[in-house]
Chain A
């Protein structure tokens, strides 16, 4: 089955530690995205990548970093510089062309204490 996997589903970290969230897709999509979702709120774009070895900051990139070394993988690192990292993180992918939707992974809930 084609799709997007995110692991782990739940992640717990101590304040001051960096943590990396995994996102893998086998849909052969060029573009990948990371969103943050806080309780009762919509999606906020952190980073996106339209092609391998290239990525762009979204609306709330501060305190986060990404890499795109392979087409199928787009890991997100939440650094200790992120002031309020506890949130639900969603990865998505899409193919090019205005007509096409994003496909979303199941999400990772990160809790930092």
Chain B
């Protein structure tokens, strides 16, 4: 079946460090891929998305590229800030309109 696997956390980085959170997926057909962010006690917010192979989603300095050959959608940011501390979820929507989420990766950025 379809699934999303993302790197285990927690991840702790110093401010201005480079961030990568790995995400790989299993799906038939051509799913859409998403990254969501969740701040403590809140719902999930869409961070970025890509709907076809080789698309790059970007928002607020975060980027992720839809790589069909490696079935990956890794999240990157060149220079993290304290305000980026949150939990990040990778997700896919398959051609049957079902959503699948990774288990989330907690990021803490220290000054």
A interface residues (Cβ-Cβ under 8 A, vs B): 4, 6, 31, 33, 40-43, 45, 50, 90, 92, 94, 96-107, 109
A109-B41 CB under 8 A given contacts A33-B99, A42-B103, A102-B99: yes
CB pair A105 B94 closer than 8 Å: no
- Kindly provide the distance from the CB of A3 to the nearest chain B CB, expressed in whole angstroms: 10
Contact B46 A101 (CB under 8 A): yes
With A42-B101, A42-B104 as known contacts, state yes or no: A99 contacts B44, CB within 8 Å.
no
Contact between A98 and B94 (Cβ–Cβ < 8 Å)? yes
A99 to B106, CA, bound (A): 26
For chains A and B in complex, what number of residue pairs have CB atoms within 8 angstroms? Answer: 58
Question: Smallest Cβ distance from B16 to chain A, in angstroms?
Answer: 27
Q: How far is the CB of A93 from chain B (nearest CB, A)?
A: 11
Tell me whether A104 and B31 are in contact in the complex, defined as CB-CB below 8 angstroms, given that A41-B103, A43-B101, A98-B93 are known contacts.
no
A-B contact pairs, 23 of them (CB 8 A): A6-B43, A31-B97, A33-B99, A42-B89, A42-B103, A42-B104, A50-B97, A90-B43, A92-B44, A94-B99, A96-B97, A98-B30, A98-B51, A100-B93, A101-B32, A101-B46, A101-B49, A101-B93, A102-B44, A102-B46, A104-B36, A104-B45, A105-B43
Does B42 lie at the interface of the complex (its beta carbon under 8 Å from any beta carbon of A)? Answer: yes
The residue from B31, B42, B51 contacting A107, defined by CB atoms under 8 A apart: B42
Point out the residue from A40, A45, A94, A106 that lies within 8 Å of B42, measured CB to CB: A106
Kindly report which residue of chain A lies nearest to residue B51, judged by CB atoms.
A99
Contacts of B45 in A (CB 8 A): 104
